[in-house]
Chains A and B, each alone.
Chain A
Amino acid sequence: MRERPLRLPASWLPSVKVTMASMVLALLVGALLILVSDRQVIESFRYFFSYPWDAFRHSGEAIGESYKALVSGSVGSWSAITATLERAAPLICAGLAVTLAFRAGLFNIGAQGQLIVGAVCAGYVGFHYELPPVVHVLAALLAALVGGALWGGIIGVLKARTGAHEVITTIMLNYVAAALLTYLLTKESFQQPGSNNPRSEKVDAAATFPSILGVHSGIVLAVLAAVGVWWLLERSTVGFELRAVGANADASRTAGMSVANVYTLAMVVAGLLAGLAGAQQVLGHQDSLTASFGGSIGFDAITVALLGRATPLGTVLAGLLFGALSTGGLAMQAGAASTPLALTQVLQALIVLFVAAPALVKAVFRFRESDGGGAVMAKGWNS
């Protein structure tokens, strides 16, 4: 038997149509959840048969207000837009880390770990050294890129040299990175002077991203990174190899490519991109490192990349959508309907769920068979 490297089928990626339809479906299901979680709506359904109109009116109001708050809270004002962009920027960068690896046939679950290591490096340079303004932010940024690239590179080397499956190794290194962060936050060199809290010093003002019209420049870096990834994938010899190996490693090997080198390189660049996301988390504002500063960006990034069909443009759009959902979610909670923040997470999850079940979406919208998407995630890694 020939050895069969575990590879991701391209059919995991949804078609544009399925993606759009999934969002619509998610919003519909979300609307139902809004109703169920709204006290007034439930009350009015109690006396549905006496005053049915009440129930409909309250329902309409609850859904309308919630979704209105979601939209206005995410893109309704300049401050909302800046908040959305700042949320989106690290999601896009980490999403690109997943996208790039995916195109090389690797499932990078480790964006979270790479992001943490990148942020630790950026943070350390940011608060430990005193450097002139422009130099300082560049040095901190570089540190993040190198840190992330090294962390990703470990995965690449393990895969290339020993064939260790990247899903396993990235998950494990996520734990290691999280533990490393927790450990470092107990060290004197990281902690704020005179404090025992697991919280680092704040990074220097000189090491923070300059802001443009009230948005820190992270989003610019994210867009630049997306353009760079696009160029690398579509226009360079490196991308040619990367895509070839991702689509058919055997044919690539036969054509003289070194599959091991491609895996290593892909993970180094992926780590670098995740490191960039980490830098944005600490350097965006004058922040300090805490055990939870990364949130779940590295994991949301997987969703962003899959939703973005593993293309740079798609990743940017999906990142913006998720950024908007998370800022809009806060507004929704604060709004008149006070819809729980968790709803936006449910929305995100539902979109992905529907994307993963294209047959369902197609049945609902009566798409024809040829509309693509294919039977997706149910397939094993081996297929």
Chain B
Amino acid sequence: MQLEIRGLTKRFGTFTANDHIDLTIEPGEIHCLLGENGAGKSTLMNMLYGLLEPDEGEVLLDGKPATFATPGDAIEAGIGMVHQHFMLVPVFTVAENIMLGREQTRGLGVLNRASAATLVRDLSDTYKLAVDPDALVQDLPVGVQQRVEILKALANNAEVLILDEPTAVLTPQEIDELMSIMDSLRKDGTSIVFITHKLREVKAIGDKITVIRRGKVVGTTEPTASESELAEMMVGRGVKLVVDKDDADVGEVALDVKNLTVIGARGTTVVRDVSFDVRAGEILGIAGVQGNGQTELVKALLGLVRPASGRIQLEGRNISRHSPRQSLEEGIGYIPEDRSHDGNVGSFSVRENLVLDLYKHDEYSRGLALNLRAMSANAEQRIDEFDIRTQSMNSSVSALSGGNQQKVVVARELSRSLKVLIASQPTRGVDVGSIEFIHKRIVAERDKGTAVIIVSTELDEIFALSDRIAVMYDGRIVDIVSPNILRDEIGLLMAGGGGTAKKNA
């Protein structure tokens, strides 16, 4: 089926999220939609899937105009979508999830589970998507859950499949598997819209690449284009993709973690007996697939979560029972992984967020009274220094783009002298231009002699920044390796294979 979009436009108030977008997706084509966060990719796809109503323009299926008032209409017309966050019922089996919404019954409303299971088996044979129809979705790894989502779309006879940032949650191995699934779907004649901001993937699998910037199509190109050409199209200017850095000038051990164990909110052990140290002037990267204990490890380091056992030492002093405030005062800088949830108060102004953990310092308050003038002076300086794009220091942070919100957090944490900087996903959902800037600042902080811990699920970022790489899997540090290691080897460690560390459950 050929899908053609003509002049599709969507406005939110005075803001134009999509401005006359033209796009044609041929049958059996993998069409990559590349753009920074907030460029309008999701808005466009939500219009295609009947979640948003376009203000102008039309959608043509095989040359015939089509309108979708609800996702149901879109599914009916043969469009399937796999959302970034899966829409599955965890306590249902694969077969049950797939028949959800179009259940077949055998009279008297009794569900025909057998036919659903057969359908799943047929589909997974046809498309070589190995899935056990009787497994509970909650027991499946993320990569397989994604396959279930794809199967669900295929079961609805989707001829155009929209994949919204499908690789964000996958291990490198799972990404390879997804790519081969996409390939076999393409051979079968299914068109795929592949939304991503990862240049490597686009080049690996795409047939055609359309770049969107600020709601407009900047251009359509072939996968032969170089990564820097693509990055330039996305951002609108030349971007350095490699971070310039010299070898680390390593000093004393700044942070020493011994046998740290953390029990999660559900009572399960999420960090198991983790030991490592970070020295002044080096960057330790912690690699791993999302959800392998990195979040809890980092929270324990700051004091947001009490470790069940083990010890954290900062320059020789035990800080394992510190409150977050004590840790911050001791010289730990902290960039949380979810900036809008933990990093900024969205309704606060830029000026206020820039002192969110500093307002009690003598510079910014006397007794109970805030020193607004000092806060303004600070904001002016940081906005300038970190190139934070905001209308004014009084604009609320939630009005800023993701990259600029992150710059507010980074600017705040780097505005005092640090012993250790802990940065979790420092560039997640940040545009390419800001990534470059944030990476530069982190390296500069290292060169000032700060010990830096970077937690990232993006291997590119880990390789770009780290002087040493610790790989986490299932709550353990599986190995600590040099950044000269091969990508595949790290991938294997991230999936729980290999490694020299002892593994006793």
Binding site for B on A (CB under 8 A): 1-3, 10, 235-238, 240, 243-244, 247-248, 250-258, 369-370
Contacts and interface: CB of A to CB of B under 8 A. Distances in A.
A238 B324 contact: no
Interface of B: 13-14, 265-266, 302, 304, 323-325, 327-329, 334, 336, 341-348, 352, 356-357, 359-360, 365, 368-370, 372
Contacts, number: 73
Chain A contact surface mostly = helix
B368 A251 contact: no
B328 A251 contact: no
Given A254-B324, A256-B325, A240 B359 contact: yes
A257 B359 CA distance: 11
A237 B355 CA distance: 11
A237 B360 contact: yes
B304 A251 contact: no
A250 to B, nearest CB: 5
Contact of A251 (B265, B344, B370): B344
A237 B357 contact: no
A221 to B, nearest CB: 21
Nearest to A249: B345
Contacts of A243: 345, 348
* 5 cross-chain pairs, A with B, having the tightest CB-CB distances, nearest first: A256-B325, A255-B357, A248-B345, A255-B356, A254-B342
B368 A236 contact: yes
B265 A1 contact: yes
A225 to B, nearest CB: 17
A235 B369 contact: yes
A3 B356 CA distance: 22
Given A1-B265, A258-B323, A251 B341 contact: yes
B370 A256 contact: no
Contact of A256 (B344, B348, B357): B357
Given A248-B346, A256-B323, A258-B325, 16 more contacts: A235-B372, A237-B370, A238-B368, A240-B352, A244-B348, A244-B356, A247-B347, A247-B348, A252-B345, A253-B342, A254-B304, A254-B343, A255-B328, A256-B325, A256-B327, A369-B13
Given A244-B348, A254-B302, A254-B334, A235 B370 contact: yes
A64 to B, nearest CB: 41
Given A250-B341, A254-B324, A370-B14, A236 B370 contact: yes
Contacts of A235: 369-370, 372
Contact of A3 (B14, B265, B347, B370): B265
Contacts of B347: 10, 247-248
B304 A253 contact: yes
A255 B334 CA distance: 9
Contacts of B346: 247-248
22 contacts: A1-B265, A3-B265, A10-B347, A237-B368, A237-B369, A237-B370, A243-B348, A244-B345, A244-B352, A247-B348, A248-B344, A248-B346, A248-B347, A251-B341, A251-B356, A252-B345, A252-B356, A253-B324, A255-B324, A256-B328, A256-B357, A369-B13
Contact of B342 (A247, A250, A258): A250
Contacts of A257: 325
Nearest to A369: B13
A370 B13 contact: yes
Contacts of B334: 254
Nearest to A3: B265
Contacts of B368: 236-238
Contacts of A253: 304, 324, 342
A252 B348 CA distance: 11
A248 to B, nearest CB: 4
A253 B323 CA distance: 10
A236 B346 CA distance: 19
A253 B342 CA distance: 8
A240 B370 contact: yes
A41 to B, nearest CB: 45
A375 to B, nearest CB: 15
Contacts of A248: 341, 344-347
B325 A251 contact: no
Contacts of B372: 235
Contacts of A369: 13
A256 B333 CA distance: 11
B360 to A, nearest CB: 6
A256 B361 CA distance: 13
A10 B346 CA distance: 11
A381 to B, nearest CB: 18
Contacts of B265: 1-3
Contacts of B328: 255-256
A50 B346 CA distance: 64
B76 to A, nearest CB: 29
Contacts of B348: 243-244, 247
Most chain A CB inside 10 Å of its own CB: which residue of B334, B359, B372: B359
Nearest to A232: B368
Given A1-B265, A253-B304, A253-B324, A237 B365 contact: yes
Nearest to B328: A256
A237 B372 CA distance: 11
B267 to A, nearest CB: 12
Contacts of A2: 265
A313 to B, nearest CB: 18
A257 B341 CA distance: 15
A257 B348 CA distance: 15
Given A235-B369, A236-B369, A254 B336 contact: yes
A72 B63 CA distance: 70
A44 B35 CA distance: 70
Contacts of A1: 265-266
Most chain B CB inside 10 Å of its own CB: which residue of A238, A251, A257: A251
Contacts of B342: 250-251, 253-254
